A = this chain, B = another copy of it.
């Protein structure tokens, strides 16, 4: 039975790392003693070691031990044997690049489907979708493919941002970009605002957090989903 938490962001404004998710994660990981952390996304390019230290500090507070995947000789075995898995945010392209380089996507999918609890934030949530074509990140590396886990049949747009009123900047809004995506693709896209997350229990997907989420379907007017509502069509 699948058990996943798919968070838009690790950190909300004026808060500390994962703090807003602490009650949720305390419950989610209540039977877990250790998690495997995948730091490949390297936010701001920090090292695997530094990134893992940040994660260790947070999980120490809820009595869960953390080991980084880079600490294992065989990353495939590390995933196979993990009690739970957390894939952190950062650069989605570099994350996917490393997952391909280490040939880890299929084993990751396998253990998730078999019930290993999975936590993703930002880039770590993007890879749960069909592909990474809705990431906001800069394509700083060229991965072998954009195709990812496909844990559900839609894509995540993490850190979803509403148009900024009064902005003089002419770059596209997030909504414009997603609509552009739908000229070329028919995969639904869920715009997940910072502070929102999905709880996936087997085939049930529920929106959590204080915000609505914006669902984009090809050739349809976007829909605002309420918190606690179920994403029934996927």
Contact = CB atoms under 8 A, between A and B. Distances in A.
Query: How many copies of this chain does one complex carry?
Result: 2
Contacts of A14: 168
A149 B44 CA distance: 28
A185 to B, nearest CB: 7
Contacts of A176: 44
Contact of A184 (B94, B146, B182): B94
Q: How large is the interface on A (under 10, 10 to 19, 20 to 34, 35 or more residues)?
A: 35 or more
A116 interface: no
Contacts of A226: none
B45 A13 contact: no
Interface in A118-149: 132-142, 145-146
Given A44-B179, A133-B138, A141-B184, 9 more contacts: A13-B168, A44-B172, A44-B180, A44-B183, A133-B142, A138-B180, A142-B145, A142-B146, A159-B171
Nearest to A92: B139
Contact of A169 (B45, B159, B170, B182): B159
A181 interface: yes
Contacts of A94: 184
Given A170-B13, A170-B159, A171-B161, A140 B42 contact: no
A49 interface: no
Interface centre among A135, A137, A145 (most CB of B within 10 A): A137
26 contacts: A9-B170, A42-B180, A42-B183, A44-B176, A44-B180, A45-B179, A45-B182, A91-B180, A94-B184, A133-B139, A133-B140, A133-B142, A134-B138, A134-B140, A136-B138, A137-B177, A138-B180, A139-B146, A140-B180, A140-B181, A140-B183, A140-B185, A159-B171, A161-B171, A169-B194, A170-B194
